[in-house]
Amino acid sequence: MILVRETPAIVTGGASGLGAAVSSALRAKNVPVAILDMNAETGRAFAKAIGGQFAECDISDATAVTSALEELRGIRGQERICADCAGIAPAAKTISRGASHDAQLYAKAIRANLMGTFNVATQSALGMSTADALNADGERGVIINTASIAAYEGQMGQLAYASSKAGVVGLMLPMARDLAKSGIRIAAIAPGIFATPMVTGFPQEV
């Protein structure tokens, strides 16, 4: 698929870190970009700076995702690129200071990282599936989900984060097989540690 004005993109978590880098790279290719982010002030400012659109959205809420996508599609049409970059990285060990891992913290990571990715990817895929093909090969779009090296090599204190990202890895293959006949490609990336606002609170040795 060629990156052009006719391949609008959405980027979750697109106002900072990896998401901001993806948003900027797509705009550099003249691709229309819409950012979905919970941080409205930063998101609107960054979207304006790169010439994109913004929708405030908690991706762990499926209804909020539906509303955000409908709003953005009304402006620029069906997205053909979906980059799921939003996520959180809580740090807590299985047991610590006489207590087990907090269940609410674990559930929060699953909601943000796994359910959030699921919500956006599935709803984006539905929209792509009913859109016209982009070329003679029948391509309709691509969805890239962000996992982590922690999905394979989780470290101490990454119980919630690593298992949520392992779930993102698990989504990839069945989703790709489900959507192949619709001309929608699915990919997942598993980055290591690099300097983003999300990881600035990590200890120096991980």
In a domain, 202, yes or no: no
Using a 10 angstrom Cβ sphere, with 0-12 exposed, 13-18 middle and 19 or more buried, the burial of residue 83 is: buried
In a domain, 160, yes or no: yes
Q: Is the distance from CB of 19 to CB of 86 less than 8 angstroms?
A: yes
In a domain, 201, yes or no: no
pLDDT at residue 194 tops 90? no
Phi then psi dihedrals of residue 150, to 5 deg: -65, -20
Q: What is the DSSP string of 147-175?
A: --GGGTS--TTBHHHHHHHHHHHHHHHHH
Number of domains in the chain: 1
In a domain, 116, yes or no: yes
Q: Give the pLDDT band (50/70/90) at residue 205.
A: low
Instruction: Give the global pTM.
Output: 0.92
Residue of 14, 161, 162, 165 with catalytic role: 161
Check if 161 is active-site. yes
In a domain, 143, yes or no: yes
Task: Pick the more confident residue, 192 or 1.
Answer: 192
Q: What is the pLDDT of residues 131-187, one digit of tens each?
A: 999 999 999 999 999 999 999 999 999 999 999 999 999 999 999 999 999 999 999
In a domain, 152, yes or no: yes
The CA distance from 145 to 157, in Å, is 23
In a domain, 206, yes or no: no
Average model confidence (pLDDT) for the chain? 94
In a domain, 204, yes or no: no
Residue 54 sits in a domain of what CATH number? Answer: 3.40.50.720
Place of tokens 């919970």: 38
pLDDT at residue 200 tops 80? no
